[in-house]
Structure 1
Amino acid sequence: MTRPMCGAGCLSEIVSLQRAVGELHVAVKRYGTDTVLRDLRQVGCLKARFPRRVAAGWIDMVMLNTGGGVAGGDRLDVSVVVDPDCHATVSAQSADRFYRALTGDAPSMVRTRVTVKAGAALEWLPQETILFDRSALDRRLEIDLADDARFLGVETVVFGRTAMNERVRQGWLRDLIRVKRGGELLLHDAVRIDGPIDDLLRRAAVGAGAVASATLIYAAPDAPIRLDALRAALGAADAAASAWNGMLVARILGADSASVRATVIAVLAALRDDRPLPRVWFC
């Protein structure tokens, strides 16, 4: 008995889909009055670019994912180290798009760790994370601060592109932000949402119909005295802010990403003393 011949495209064969893997490690050091690159390691789809310096004493870094969007099973690892008395701003070339995961796929894995040493400052300013219908994302942001270090960061999650009439009817999300200062845990902010996400977001206790959410964190010695300025910048947005343990935390909700982005920009202007945002935010 002879077996039927199958070519390379035989439908009975199990095809292992290619997955993207990216690693990025960046460390900066002080050189005179400037902050300069100390170490750079790029693997796979993650890259970093260093545009022309905008503010004296600061170094700007722009992250790029050359693989485009992120699919189920992809893994991205980022590490940023800011040496003593250095100042760095990290942004992203564009919004991150997380596409539909196939049945049986592992979730997209994103792991980010930032270390800010004595007297240093880091601004973590990626653009939006856009989740598509049936996407699956497991993401963690770990922030380790020295006792007198400063950190300003924002993470914005958008559930579907409203301008394209998209809704995330099903999906899976695990999103964790942890902040430590001197080894002591200050913040453990965990989001867990899965199943009928669109229906869940309509609930008053979850999103009250919002499809975009931003979390902003400012940890610095002067954080408590900036609370009033932060609340003023929030204006009439659906948002709230609190201060404790030398840290400000604000949550912003919106019916679309544009309104949330406008509020985030206003808050960043208030906390960054009107220094211009990275140019990629306006491209």
Structure 2
Amino acid sequence: MLHTAGGLVGGDRLSITANLDTGSRALLTSVAAQKIYGSIGRCREAPAGRWAQQHLQFNLAEGSDLEWLPQELVLYADGLFEQHCQVELAAGASFLGCDVVRLGRTAAGEGLGSGRWRSALEIRRRQNGASDWVLADRTELADGGLAGEHGLAGAPVYGSLVWAAPEPLAPGALAALLAECRQDRAGLEGEMACGALEPGLVARYRGPSSQAARYWFTRIWARIRQVRGLATPELPRVWPFQERPLG
């Protein structure tokens, strides 16, 4: 997916909708990292800043498969960004999504300042005439959450990966998948953890390196493909500095 601007500024709003038909499969990614510029204190009319917002709506029909794997987001000092992602799954549909965000241009000695990053992920599955929650995940990174041990503990990079599996895995298969994903942390800097989702898994990263987060999530992506009996992922040519081969 292409974005023609050099980045988002306060007040910008993006909306992305994908409707997958029965049995269809898609990989959606971005051609480059997304930049969010600072808005706090930049405008006399809105000294508190304006939010840049992104709304994602993914509707997956029965047996369809969506992999939403954008490149990382870079939130500049005093930037405000809010994302709301809604995923509607039919029976047998699979959703794999991830986010990697760098808070401040740390290579230039810049932190997030008074900026703020918010994310709301909602996944529901429709089956047997009902709509049931798979996951409701809300995160906000700012202020004390950047330094606190229950937040980022001073790390500038946060990552989250979620897989809503098309059907529950056998307990032994799920345990083996989680063990392999944890082994895949080897050689990567930062703190990484993963656990079971009913059905599927959730993985989190915090640390100094967006590349390490991307490497780990890509390894997990390959593991999930393997468990599902699918082909090994072919890395998009627009992704920079990726492991070849995977792992």
Q: Which TM-score tier does this pair reach, normalised by the shorter chain?
A: 0.7 to 0.9
Q: What residue in structure 1 maps to residue 25 of structure 2?
A: 87
Name the CA distance, whole Å, in 1 between partners of 2:116 and 2:105. Answer: 17
Deviations 1:100-151 (A, max 9, x none): 1134143111100111110110000001011000001121111111121011
Which protein, 1 or 2, shows the higher relative CO under an 8 Å CA cutoff with sep ≥ 6? 2
- For 1:205, the equivalent position in structure 2 comes to 150
1:233–1:270 Cα contact (<8 Å) kept:
no
Residues 225 and 233, structure 2, Cα contact 8 Å, conserved in 1: yes
1:253 aligns with 2:206: yes
Aligned residue for 1:191? 139
C-alpha change, 1:90 and 1:279, in structure 2 (3 Å) is same
Q: CA deviation at 1:247?
A: 2.2
Tell me by how many angstroms 1:254 deviates: 1.2
Q: Distance in 1 between matches of 2:117 and 2:159?
A: 15
Is 1:229 the counterpart of 2:187 in the alignment? no
Q: Which residue of 2 aligns with 1:57?
A: none
SS in 1 for 2:192: strand
Question: Are the counterparts in 2 of residues 160 and 168 from structure 1 also a CA contact under 8 Å?
Answer: yes
Q: Normalising to structure 1: TM-score of the pair?
A: 0.72
Cα deviation for residue 253 of structure 1 reads 1.0
Does 2:14 match 1:76? Answer: yes
Unaligned runs of 5+ in 2: 227-231, 242-247
Mapped to 2, the partners of 1:233 and 1:218 lie a distance apart of 17
Report the 3-state secondary structure (helix = DSSP H, G, I; strand = E; otherwise coil) of the residue aligned with 2:38.
coil
Matching of residues 43-62 of structure 1 within 5 Å: none
Aligned to 2:86, what secondary structure does the other structure show?
Answer: strand
Per the alignment, in what secondary structure is the counterpart of residue 180 of structure 1?
strand
Hey, what's the Cα distance between the residues in 2 that align with 1:114 and 1:181? 12
Shift of 1:244: 3.0
Q: Return the TM-score normalized by structure 2.
A: 0.82
- Counterpart of 2:37 in structure 1 is 99
Give the structure with the larger strand fraction. 1
RMSD: 1.8
C-alpha contact 1:87 1:121 (8 A) present in aligned 2: yes
Question: 1:281 is paired with a residue of what secondary structure?
Answer: coil
Partner of 2:71: 127
